[in-house]
Structure 1
Amino acid sequence: MKKKLLILSLIAVFVLSMAACGGGGDKAEKTELSVIDGEWYGLDVFQLDSTAGAQALNASSLFQWNPETNTVEDNVCTDWNVSKDGKTVTFNVPEGMKYSTGEQVEPEDVVASIEHGLKVSPYADGYSNIKSMDVEGRQVTLHLSQFRSDMQYYLCAGFVAVIDKDELDSMSDKKLMWGCHPYGMYALAEDGYVSGSEVKLVRNDGYKCANPLVENQGPGHFETISVRFNVEPFTQTEELKSGAVDIIMSLENGDQKIDLEGEDSVVLVDTTYPNIDYFEMNTDSPVFSDINVRKALALSIDRDGLVEVMDGLIAPAYSMIYDTVQNFSPDAKTWFEKNLANDPEQAKKLLDQAGWKDSDGDGIREKDGKKLSFTWYAWTDATTIPEAMAGQLKKVGFDMKIEAIDWNYVYEKINSDKYDAGIEWLSWAEPILVLNGCYYDKNAPGNTDEYKAMVEDVATTVDTDERTKKIGEIQMHLFENVNMIPMYAELSFSAYNKDLKGFNVLKDGTAPMNDIAY
């Protein structure tokens, strides 16, 4: 469960890429917004390894990613331009943007902030290709060792914000955590942090941005925002129903969703950040050493059946790079769905050809006196899906035994090659981060120097359309050995008062909150 909470909170930094605004008394005159969110652990987002969704209210990203065009759009900074050789990036820092302190945002602040991130951020590797930076007038130039698409991702996400250079120079890292003033639509109120339970925010009237995906490019519509966290799910639900709360940033369980679906005063919206649940099969295992057995298992899975078991809280996935990830290529998904999914009859034929047959009539196939039996490593807090999957596989002749262990032990087993099959999960909107992390089995046949070179090549490809083409080719390479099988994406939902307007969700699940108002 710790793994899920950490990564889901990480994910939240992207789910709301910009800042919002909020409510209070009579709907037409609301001046305060009440939000329930994940816990905030500091204001200096560079130092954090997990960030809550509403924290984007306090720290705006440098740029906005456009998931429709796979391009970088303006936000705090403008005019993103990459040289043809991918070694130089230029952008501008417009005049007139003010921190909540009244100081203007300067190009030197952006440079100092990136330098700060390179020193303290757990995600500094994502933009460590920035070797030096220059400022001329309002223009910043990044000198790169090479272009990397994941650098663009970080500069469009909440991991890289702008903090006043004077604060970075004068404050210790410890003091920056709760003492800095990131550039955003809202700032922490005086004495506004209540440890473990709430942050109180006040509007930054000096805020403006250039984000073309929002209508309101100025200060938020609400004067103050109360962000509460560590609130019990039942209390969250009841307070939203009663109107005491305006937004729940992320529902915590299926019961909340079911309860709120029938509530006329509430709107539910899918804010799923790109993620993929998948599994690896150990090709060194006696059962899965035969590729036809691996194909048979893949073909036996009924993803729609799993969706039904989970009451619609998951969606089928047929590619490692999920549909809403940057530079998604539909070709690989189409091929997998046609050739390696939803065909239990073909699975039976493949098992017959491989010599696995049910000779004793117990429903489980045998070969050379051994059962077609394997152990599936599942997470201790997520056994519903593997139990349903075991039932599906039994109809084809597999005996799938489930061993539920803590998530980190699942990865340890796979990493040490001591497994038959096991569940894995990744959640990134940028494909390189998925492709770099998907092989937990270091001995997997596809985890080769050739594969790593392909990933490196696509990461350094400047042209976004060419990158999309190469992403499709890499996935076809992943599918060659039929040992890594995409299964489903876990859905997440936000809920808000039906009278609230402007909660607009982009294709990748992100929701710039600039336009929120009653």
Structure 2
Amino acid sequence: MHQPRHRRSALLPVLLLAAVTACSTDGGASSAGPAQPRSGGSLTYAAQQEPDCWDPHTSAQDVTAFVQRPVFDSLVHQTPDGKLEPWLAKSWKTSEGGRTYTFELRDDVTFHDGKHLDAAAVKANFDHITAKATQSQYAAGLLGPYEGTAVKGKYEVEVRFSRPYAPFLQAASTTYLGIASPASLKAGADKLCAGTGSVGSGPFEAGAYTRGQQRGYTRNAAYAWAPKDAGHSGPARLDAFTIRFLTEDATRVGALTSGQVDAAAALPANRIAAVRRDARLDVVTKDVPGAVDTFYLNTKSPLFSDERIRKAFQRSIDLDALVESVFQGTGTRAWSTLSPATPHSYDPALVNSWPYDRALAGRLLDRAGWTGRDAEGYRTKNGERLTVTAPVYGQASVFSQAVQGDLKKAGIDLRLAASTDATAVSAQLDEGRYDVVETSWARGDGDILSSFFLSTESSEGGGHNFARVTDPQVDAWLKKAQAATSPDERAAYYAKVQKWTTDHAAVVPAYVQKASVGVSKKVHGLRLSLSAWPEFYAAWVEAGR
């Protein structure tokens, strides 16, 4: 049976780097425009990050999935409201209680190199994802208890699992499990990661790439297999588009307001209002599904093995006030590790279930023996200060520093241990030498909880169970959710996990990530996917662009 690989290296850049650029008011999910789209023209989009590796079968970065979505199609399409519909597969069925998925493929799909999609191509892709040489950081994990793929006919392919695995269909809709031309997969890991070997069947072909600057895309004139929900049919409307990599907020916003780019990602919270006031621009926003920005408390650390101290930490942070202040009225406080945008998964019953209560936190710390105070006001026990260690890759964000200040009022010293040494930070996580980790992750399925709370995903094994939860009941709920075929049944199990992790203070969900994209009013039809990534297929520009 295939063992999922982990994506620790991709998560390091977001440990305690809660981006203030991620929140905005929820003003819609597509750019508005007149009723008559046109074909032709081009646009330029400013992204806030460049992929370290361009192969979605290898990389776990969100940005890799985003920049390669125009190039690679998937077997299944997930609509912006979470429904699953045909794409490269025109139909599918399950058997053996959810252990086997059989896909009937379209027979009219051509890759950018002229080769045709068939069952053998799908098998080649899944073989590539699970091959040791690919060193998959995420795609292989999305395959869960994968056993193998079999060609049953020219356009019929069967994917088998060792146990029922309901999350597979949503996983099959992601760019990470996107289908590349089998010939291109032979180029080797270095070429695929470098971005020079990307050959899919998508509405755009990968064009010229200048590392550190930009990537071009050109329209695939033969494209005729868009999913039903894509916005139109046939080839894309744009002749071409370019993604520029502008990592500095000020540079990105400046490029947008000066007209150097037609759209820009990750608007900073303190610039959203100004962009909205600009008569030439719109702001398109969407909540991000999956795991919200969350503090995961290491339940096995010497300090946080005491649930009283974890609960004191949880109740000492005035999240309503901090989110309001840091995001200048544009943020949304979280109550669960799951975003409300996650289809069939979020439990609204958690709202107001663990409110800010510094008095309660104080009583809990007293009972745990932290009754003393030092000269700086921090609590002490046997002469030792109450210190919580948090690894930070890079520089701590404004939000995490605000949390640090709030905890100081409660007598808790949050040490933001910043480092630019990825190897050292990873070793700290592997060895459990931390008390808390802050991170988030986008996914359009509640099974993201498995990545963070299954006992087999412990941070000591390179996984993302940073809270190091090893509860048999939690494992059972997550595995039952994976086996359940009813969305309501899966949601019920996910609700139990969400409640357990907050009740036991294994987590402190902080705020809901929101994407915010500034768009020229001359651009129309640019919508955000369920994962809150811009989709260029249906986009078009007014004449003169």
* Shorter-chain TM band: 0.7 to 0.9
Task: Report the AA paired with residue 145 of structure 1.
Answer: S
Q: Which residue of 1 aligns with 2:42?
A: 32
Task: Report the AA paired with residue 154 of structure 1.
Answer: A
> 1: CA distance between counterparts of 2:116 and 2:199?
12
Q: Closer, same or farther in 2 for the Cα pair 1:244/1:278, shift >3 Å?
A: closer
Does residue 342 in structure 1 map to residue 356 in structure 2?
A: yes
Q: Closer, same or farther in 2 for the Cα pair 1:259/1:483, shift >3 Å?
A: same
Q: How many Å apart are 1:220 and its aligned residue?
A: 0.5
Q: Closer, same or farther in 2 for the Cα pair 1:44/1:443, shift >3 Å?
A: closer
> 2: CA distance between counterparts of 1:508 and 1:2?
17
Does residue 88 in structure 1 map to residue 100 in structure 2?
A: yes
Task: Report the AA paired with residue 85 of structure 2.
Answer: E
**Pairwise CA RMSD:** 3.8
Does residue 487 in structure 1 map to residue 498 in structure 2?
A: no
Task: Report the AA paired with residue 64 of structure 1.
Answer: H
Q: Closer, same or farther in 2 for the Cα pair 1:77/1:42, shift >3 Å?
A: farther
Task: Report the AA paired with residue 75 of structure 1.
Answer: W
Task: Report the AA paired with residue 58 of structure 1.
Answer: V
> 2: CA distance between counterparts of 1:115 and 1:448?
33
Contact 1:428 1:434 in 2 (8 A): no
- 1:422-467, CA deviations, whole angstroms, 9 ceiling, x for partnerless residues? 2321314143344333554889784234433432332233333211
Q: Which residue of 1 aligns with 2:452?
A: 437
Of 304, 314, 318, the residue aligned with 1:298 is 314
Q: Closer, same or farther in 2 for the Cα pair 1:268/1:445, shift >3 Å?
A: closer
Q: Which residue of 1 aligns with 2:412?
A: 399
Of 218, 222, 232, the residue aligned with 2:234 is 218
The percentage of aligned residue pairs carrying the same residue is 21
SS in 2 for 1:133: strand
> 2: CA distance between counterparts of 1:454 and 1:167?
40
Q: How many Å apart are 1:33 and its aligned residue?
A: 1.9
Task: Report the AA paired with residue 44 of structure 2.
Answer: S
> 2: CA distance between counterparts of 1:102 and 1:302?
58
Q: Which residue of 2 aligns with 1:182?
A: 200
> 1: CA distance between counterparts of 2:152 and 2:175?
23
Q: How many Å apart are 1:510 and its aligned residue?
A: 4.5
Does residue 266 in structure 1 map to residue 281 in structure 2?
A: yes
> 1: CA distance between counterparts of 2:400 and 2:188?
48
Q: Closer, same or farther in 2 for the Cα pair 1:195/1:478, shift >3 Å?
A: closer
> 2: CA distance between counterparts of 1:475 and 1:327?
13
Task: Report the AA paired with residue 129 of structure 1.
Answer: Y
> 2: CA distance between counterparts of 1:297 and 1:47?
37
> 2: CA distance between counterparts of 1:102 and 1:61?
18
Contact 1:100 1:205 in 2 (8 A): no
TM, length-normalised to structure 1: 0.80
- 1:403-423, CA deviations, whole angstroms, 9 ceiling, x for partnerless residues? 43228556655654544x323
Contiguous gaps of at least 5 residues in structure 1: 9-19, 21-26
SS in 2 for 1:427: strand
Q: Closer, same or farther in 2 for the Cα pair 1:324/1:411, shift >3 Å?
A: farther
Q: Closer, same or farther in 2 for the Cα pair 1:290/1:245, shift >3 Å?
A: closer
Which structure has the greater CA radius of gyration? Answer: 1
Of 389, 396, 403, the residue aligned with 1:382 is 396
Task: Report the AA paired with residue 451 of structure 2.
Answer: N
Tell me whether 178-187 or 75-84 shows the greater mean CA deviation. 75-84
Q: How many Å apart are 1:73 and its aligned residue?
A: 1.5
TM, length-normalised to structure 2: 0.77
> 1: CA distance between counterparts of 2:340 and 2:315?
20
Q: Which residue of 2 aligns with 1:154?
A: 171
Q: Closer, same or farther in 2 for the Cα pair 1:90/1:393, shift >3 Å?
A: same
Contact 2:300 2:468 in 1 (8 A): no
Q: Which residue of 1 aligns with 2:72?
A: 59
SS in 2 for 1:315: coil
Task: Report the AA paired with residue 344 of structure 1.
Answer: R
Pairing of 1:9-24 with structure 2 (within 5 A): none
Q: How many Å apart are 1:29 and its aligned residue?
A: 7.2
Tell me whether 225-234 or 127-136 shows the greater mean CA deviation. 225-234
> 2: CA distance between counterparts of 1:352 and 1:174?
56
Of 119, 122, 135, the residue aligned with 1:107 is 119
Task: Report the AA paired with residue 462 of structure 1.
Answer: T
Q: How many Å apart are 1:342 and its aligned residue?
A: 2.3
The number of residues matched between the two structures is 491
Q: Which residue of 1 aligns with 2:57?
A: 46
Contact 2:442 2:531 in 1 (8 A): no
Tell me whether 434-443 or 468-477 shows the greater mean CA deviation. 434-443
